Amino acid sequence: MTASHKSVPNPRGPIARAALAFASILVLAACVPAGTQQTASLPAPEQPAPPPPSPFVQAMRDAGVNVAIPARGKFILVNIPSYELIAFQDGAPVIRSKVVVGAAGTSTPELLSNMYAIKYNPDWTPTPSIVRNEASVYIPSGPRSPLGRLKLELDNDQAIYLHDTPQKSYFGREKRALSHGCVRVQQVRELAAWADGVSVDEIDQRIRTGRMYTERLAEEIPVYIGYYTRFPDQFGQPVNVSGRLR
């Protein structure tokens, strides 16, 4: 080969083939729209289907009670017209208790809140409206406290909470709109034990100390106080409960 002839790469040689492959990659990349030049992801695994509602939750739906009961965790529902509280664990009722709600003029409001603490042997401080209308005064912790032995604290700006009561006879009445607005719970010891994840005996031991103190829950529990005039009875049958408030 003379100096006047330059070496030309073999178009079928390995260097030429590599260059052609690299050029092809650049051309393909240029054809991909901006913002989509990324590695294709594998399809996400299918999520398990949610469990079917419990028979009681289904009965609530049939009655037109449109509360979204979570399938996991704890939840409390208070229905004002039926004077009852239902505690749900993983979508199924575990406690169903009679309650006393607000009387005419001091009715219990509908609200969504969270239970965050339990107060043992609580004292009672009347609200300004109670002082104005009834001349009530502060009552210390003890057997005369209107809150009984347990107060279940709710996070809201209306001073509404769940509590015990020394007036147990009120739970025997058919119409139980008798309070200043807060909710008195018949099975309050069972509710406190369930909320705190301990036994009723443990709750009773804490009460017997006579000390007034507050203990925060490990996890807050959603509480919904609602107004549903059709609600399942003890057999799961929808009944009209609107007349009970009259």
* pLDDT reported for residue 245: 67
Q: Which domain holds residue 206?
A: 71-245
The CATH code of the domain that includes 209 is 2.40.440.10
Is residue 152 domain-resident?
A: yes
* pLDDT reported for residue 6: 44
Which H helix or E strand runs over 188? helix 188-196
| Encoded amino acid at 203, one letter | I
Question: How far is C-alpha 183 from the chain's CA centre?
Answer: 17
Is residue 224 domain-resident?
A: yes
Which of 139, 206, 192 has its CA nearest to residue 164? 192
Largest CA distance in the chain: 122
Is residue 48 domain-resident?
A: no
Low-confidence ranges of the chain (pLDDT < 50): 1-9, 11, 16, 19-20, 22-32, 36-37, 39
List the catalytic residues: 163, 182
Is residue 187 domain-resident?
A: yes
Q: How many CB atoms lie within 10 A of CB 57?
A: 21
Q: How many domains does the chain have?
A: 1
CA dihedral for 57, 62, 63, 67, sign (positive or negative)? positive
* pLDDT reported for residue 153: 98
Is residue 169 domain-resident?
A: yes
* pLDDT reported for residue 246: 57
Which of 88, 3, 102, 99 has its CA nearest to residue 54? 88
Is residue 37 domain-resident?
A: no
Is residue 208 domain-resident?
A: yes
Q: How many CB atoms lie within 10 A of CB 152?
A: 27
Residue tagged 């007036």 (tokens)? 167
Q: pTM for this structure?
A: 0.78
Residue ranges in 5-154 assigned as alpha helix (H): 14-31, 55-62, 128-134
| Encoded amino acid at 31, one letter | C
Is residue 31 domain-resident?
A: no
126: which residues sit within 8 A by CB, 6+ positions away?
A: 134, 136, 137, 138
Cα three-residue angle 187-189-190, rounded to 5 degrees = 70
* pLDDT reported for residue 135: 58
| Cα gap 56→61, rounded to integer Å | 9
Cα three-residue angle 226-69-202, rounded to 5 degrees = 90
